[in-house]
Each structure stands twice: as C-alpha cells, then as structure tokens.
Amino acid sequence: MTTRFTSLLALAALTGSALMFSSHAYAADPDADAAKPDGDETPPEAAKPDAPAGEAGGPDDPEKQKNAKLAADTDADSSPVELPGKTYRAVGLRYRAVIVPKFMMNLFGDGGATVVANGFGPEFTIRKDGFEYDFSLWYASYAMDPTPFKASSDGAEAWEIVQSHLKVLYITSDFLWSHEIASEFSVNYGLGAGLGFVFGDLNRTQAYPGSGANSSTGAGFLPCAGPGNAPANPSAGGQYCGNDNNHYNGYAEPSWANGGSKPIVFPWLALQTGLRWKPHRNFIARLDAGFGTSGFFLGLGADYGL
C-alpha cells in the first residue's frame, strides 16, 4: 500500500513538472504566434509604434526636415519685418513731378507761367533702424511754351517771349526717418539735398503788344520779327522791338560761363514727407511730397530689396 501510494505521488510530481516546463517553453517560443488557432485577432495597423528616428516618416527623417526648413526659410524671406541693427539695401526707380508755380517766377519778374517738370531716374537705398539714404541720379525737363516775361523793374517795352528747353541732371540724396503706422505702412519725413547740372536752350525774343494786349501781365504780346517792326510806345516813351539788344528769332541766352543769365548748376534742397509701403521683403513703394528750391514736387518710388 505504501509502495503504491509513493509511486502515485512520484507520477503526479513528474506530470506537474512536465506541464510547467511545457508552459514555459511555449511562452518563450518566438514562433508561438504561428501556432495560434484560427480566429485570433491581430493588433490594428494604427497601433503600430512610430517609425524609429532616422527612418522614413520618423522625427529625424531627412526629407521631412528638409521640407520643414524650406517652409521656414520661405516665410522668413517674404517677411517685410526689418530687424533692429540689420542693414537693408534696395535698388529701383523714381518719378517726380516738380511744379514751379507762377508766383515763384514772379519773385524775379513779371509774367511767366506755372511749369511742371517731369523727372525720373534710378535710385539706390540703404536703410537701418528706420532711417534711410536714397541716392539718385535723375533727369528732369523744365520745358515751357512761349510765354511773356520781363524784369519787374523794366517798362512795358521790355516784354519778351521766353521759351524754355532747359533740362537738369540731378545728383541727390534723401535723408528720411520713418514712423510706423501699421505692419506694412510708415510715414517718412526728412530732407533732400543735391546738385543739378543745367543744359539746353533758353530762348528770348523781344515782343510788342497785339490787339487787346495787357501791358501789365504781358498777355497778348507778340514776338518781334526784327528791330523797328512795331510802333513807338507813347505812354512809356520807349520803342518796342528796339535795337538795344539782339533778342530776335529765338535768341539763345548764354550760360553764366559766357556772361549770360542761364545757370550752369542748380541746387536741390527740399523738405519732404510721404508714405512708405513694404508688403514683401523684396518690394518697397513710396509716395513722396515736398517743397524746396525748385518748387513743389510729388513723387513715386518703387524698389527691389537686395
């Protein structure tokens, strides 16, 4: 009885050990999934872990990093924001309508007319911390149709018909400060200075009163064909179309260098203000206005940021 009981216990212990070994071996077997019965569910695709760093789609994916950097660089390149301490440069073109009003001409004589000189040329801008220099080489035409003109101290017989073909090549610089009023808009204010080189003809022809002429304003005066082709002026005691000078047939006034009154150089000095618009890093536009030695002016500028 004892022997049989002992044998049963040994058999039970051996069976238990075998079952424990079999269970441990199954859990450690890498091919155990292949032995799963049909119907077992596999984890959904969404549950897969993220790709390791350095592989496609991972956080260190070179292509992904390249695209992110490109997007950041594009945003930075297009931004109109100007950083403190950084110098910005631009090149472009300017246009200016210089208005010489009649009242300015009347500071030096009688008659005349308002002249609008159209000017244009390239410009180069250097800007830092809201202050800029605008250097420009620009051309302006001060053309004027035949107009009566004389010195204020002269009598009525001194009226002449004056026609201008004068042109000026300016070398100027604008010194402008800016006050920002919006992210893309600023108010400019400052001054301009430079020098203009004058060329072209200033023609003068003696004149006599036509029918209904006004001897105070010169309206209705006609150009003389030559000396003595007009009657005397009884009220002034003088003679129209006299022989006191040779201002006939479009006489060209000499320059200062040849003893005449036509200037060789002309200063450009102006106080100015305007609006500045910068919607993109590479585009700047300006609306300028001012007053100076040449009269009033309105201007436009368009520059490309370098």
Q: What is the pLDDT of residue 229?
A: 76
Q: Which of 38-42, 108-112, 161-165, 205-209 has the lowest mean pLDDT?
A: 38-42
Half-sphere exposure of 224 (CA within 13 A, CB side): 26
Residue 78 has pLDDT above 50, yes or no: yes
pLDDT band of 238, cuts 50, 70, 90:
low
| Candidate ranges 50-54, 55-59, 127-131; pick with highest mean pLDDT | 127-131
pLDDT at 84 > cutoff 90? yes
More confident residue, 273 or 59: 273
Please indicate, yes or no, whether the overall pTM of this predicted structure exceeds 0.75.
no
Q: Are the C-beta atoms of residues 272 and 177 closer than 8 Å to each other?
A: no
Q: How far is Cα 71 from Cα 138, in angstroms, rounded to an integer?
A: 40
What's the confidence (pLDDT) of residue 19?
36
Identity of residue 17 = S
**Which of 3-12, 52-61, 62-71, 191-200 is least confident?**
3-12
- The confidence score (pLDDT) of residue 34 equals 47
Angle at alpha carbon of residue 267, lines to 262 and 268, rounded to 5°:
130
Q: Are 118 and 143 in contact (CB under 8 A)?
A: no
Where does the pLDDT of residue 43 fall: very low under 50, low under 70, confident under 90, or very high at 90 and above? low
Q: What is the mean pLDDT of residues 194-217?
A: 94
Q: Which residues of 27-57 are buried (b: 16+ CB within 10 A; e: fewer)?
A: eeeeeeeeeeeeeeeeeeeeeeeeeeeeeee
Residue-averaged pLDDT of the chain:
82
Distance CA 242, CA 219 (A): 20
**High-pLDDT (> 90) share of the chain, %:** 64
What is the spatial distance between Cα 244 and Cα 89, in angstroms, rounded to a whole number? 58
Contact 102, 148 (CB under 8 A): no
* The predicted structure's pLDDT at residue 1: 41
DSSP 8-state assignment for residue 7: H
Is residue 170 within 8 A of residue 194, CB to CB? The reply is yes
